Amino acid sequence: MTIEAAASPSTVPDTAAGPIIHPRWVRLTHWINALAMLMMIGSGWQIYDAAPLFRFEFSHHIALGEWLGGALLWHFAAMWLLVINGFTYVALGILTGRFRRKLFPIRPREVVGDFLAALRGRLAHDDLAVYNAVQKLLYLGTLLTGLVIVLSGVSIWKPVQFQHLTSFFGGYNTARYVHFAAMTAIVAFLVVHVTLAVLVPKSLRAMLIGR
């Protein structure tokens, strides 16, 4: 029996509140990850302002840390929280078989079909235990983007100690652009994710209480 078997929708009997969709470890790591990402993004914007890559800066009203030194402290603290929590989530996702059941297979035809249905407002959300093809692609892509943002961040943080990793990203300056691009992708995902949670409030309820 897998770790998650006892909390799987297929093995938990229906109650008046409905079956368990998200076991406790999923909900806990989800909200810890949300907190860590907000800290990372806010402090990252403050760090960016100290040496902008483009011709704009982020408002100090949405940045975290108030100055470069303070932002770095927030960023590194959140980094360890994100890495430890992320590793726990991925490890449990693999060991319990949740990733295999929820994220695979991903078929291009289904992705296109579900994407077009979403544009027309006809994408069903009746069964929250089953991810549509677009969700599978976005969640898997976000996991991979998270790996890129961590590795590129490490190559920027310790470019001498991890010089081979920094070289893999094309050098220190290029690694900064990769890091920024990965951050932008995650922010875009968060905007879509939160928007859908507002449009389908029962999905937010499920992430809060599991049902």
99 and 114 fall within a common domain: no
pLDDT digits (tens, 9 = 90+) for 173-189: 999 999 999 999 999 99
pLDDT computed for residue 138 by the predictor: 93
- Stronger pLDDT, 6 or 41, i.e. the higher one: 41
147 and 179 fall within a common domain: yes
120 and 203 fall within a common domain: yes
- Stronger pLDDT, 48 or 204, i.e. the higher one: 48
pLDDT computed for residue 170 by the predictor: 96
Say if CB 62 and CB 44 are below 8 A apart.
no
pLDDT computed for residue 117 by the predictor: 86
Euclidean distance between CA atoms 10 and 197, whole angstroms = 24
89 and 123 fall within a common domain: no
Number of domains in the chain: 2
pLDDT computed for residue 15 by the predictor: 47
67 and 86 fall within a common domain: yes
The arithmetic mean of pLDDT across residues 57-75, rounded, is 94
- Stronger pLDDT, 200 or 122, i.e. the higher one: 200
Burial of 33 (0-12, 13-18, 19+ CB in 10 A): middle
115 and 211 fall within a common domain: yes
pLDDT computed for residue 17 by the predictor: 58
* Contacts of residue 45, Cβ cutoff 8 Å, sequence gap at least 6: 58, 62, 63, 64
Residue 184 placed within a domain: yes
**Structure tokens that stand for 151 in this block:** 């590795």
Domain-ending residue, one of 83, 103, 123? 103
Residue 116 placed within a domain: yes
- Which has the minimum average pLDDT: 11-20, 62-71, 127-136? 11-20
77 and 92 fall within a common domain: yes
Containing structural domain, residue 145? 110-211
Residue 1 placed within a domain: no
What is the residue-averaged pLDDT of the chain? Answer: 89
pLDDT computed for residue 74 by the predictor: 97
The arithmetic mean of pLDDT across residues 60-73, rounded, is 94
pLDDT digits (tens, 9 = 90+) for 68-83: 999 999 999 999 999 9
pTM: 0.86
Residue 5 placed within a domain: no
Q: Most distant CA pair in the chain: distance in Å?
A: 58
pLDDT computed for residue 128 by the predictor: 80
Say if CB 211 and CB 129 are below 8 A apart.
no
80 and 65 fall within a common domain: yes
98 and 114 fall within a common domain: no
* Contacts of residue 10, Cβ cutoff 8 Å, sequence gap at least 6: none
